[in-house]
Amino acid sequence: MEPNPWPSLPFAEWKETCATLHMWTQIVGKVRLALAPWTNHSWHVTLYLTARGLTTSPIPFGARVFQIDFDFIDHVLRIQTNDGREKTVGLAPKSVAKFHGEMMTALGELGLPVKINTTPNEVDPAIPFEQNETNASYDPDFANRFWRVLLQSDRVFKEFRAEFCGKCSPVHFFWGSFDLAVTRFSGRRAPQHPGGVPHLPDAVTREAYSQEVSSLGFWPGNAMMPEPIFYSYAYPAPGGFSEAKVQPATASFNPQLKEFVLPYEEVRQAASPDQMLLDFARSTYDAAATLGEWDRAALMEIKPDLQSSRQHR
């Protein structure tokens, strides 16, 4: 194993692969969206980290069940069913249109025909998948690096999540915004969100932000901000939130994004990346919850005597 499990991920060196992979994850995610029961805040559409990549987790198809996995070690998309059948699609330089066609063919051959909305979400322009010959890059090294960053982030985010006993999302990957996130809830309703996310119904956005939240995430960057970052925001942002003092000192409030930002490169170069990221997560939540007057005493976890409970099992 390499000494630092947090690999470098310079956006400029893999931006074409990033754009293509974003669309590929949307195609896979929309299959789950089409078939899974609706869950609050769109939690039914997300992907999850695995020891080899990303997964939909089991998806119902009548009485059958299947799942779709990105494998960023062998670089294949693997579709598996509960009756032991399997199809794969190679992850290699190819257009979004070709990937879409190959995946839909594979699903059909497994007896899993599904119709999805082929207009991508949260991007502009939104080229329908079957027409997208523009995004066709795939660098396996950078796809693997991206997954490894997500894997390390997922691990630390789960440690942070365990410190909270209120309503909290899973640690999950949103293919629309192309980020890994975990969200804590105050338990109170929030003012109606204005919506306006490109190619996403306002009703979906408003339901997602129907309650007060503090959210932590990792995002690989885009043309507007061409570097990977960790972020934290509150909705609604309480008064004074943007001026709050957070950790580490290299973190800052970005007025354009309306969230605190910590460059990924700062974390990977730190003596203890885990501790730096936990400091960022805890201090930004502290700012949101304190200024927002959350009932913090009721929301923090009281951990049991784990050693004693293990001995009595």
User: Is the pTM above the cut of 0.85?
Assistant: yes
**Tens-digit pLDDT string for the chain (313 aa):** 556 899 999 999 999 999 999 999 999 999 999 999 999 999 999 999 999 999 999 999 999 999 999 999 999 999 999 999 999 999 999 999 999 999 999 999 999 999 999 999 999 999 999 999 999 999 999 999 999 999 999 999 999 999 999 999 999 999 999 999 999 999 999 999 999 999 999 999 999 999 999 999 999 999 889 999 999 999 999 999 999 999 999 999 999 999 999 999 999 999 999 999 999 999 999 999 999 999 998 898 666 665 555 555 5
Question: Where in the chain are the domains?
Answer: 11-131, 140-299
Long-range contact list for 122-129, CB < 8 A, 24+ apart?
122/176, 122/177, 122/197, 122/198, 122/199, 122/200, 123/22, 123/198, 123/199, 124/198, 124/199, 126/198, 126/199, 127/96, 129/23, 129/26, 129/27, 129/96, 129/97, 129/100
The pLDDT value given to residue 2: 56
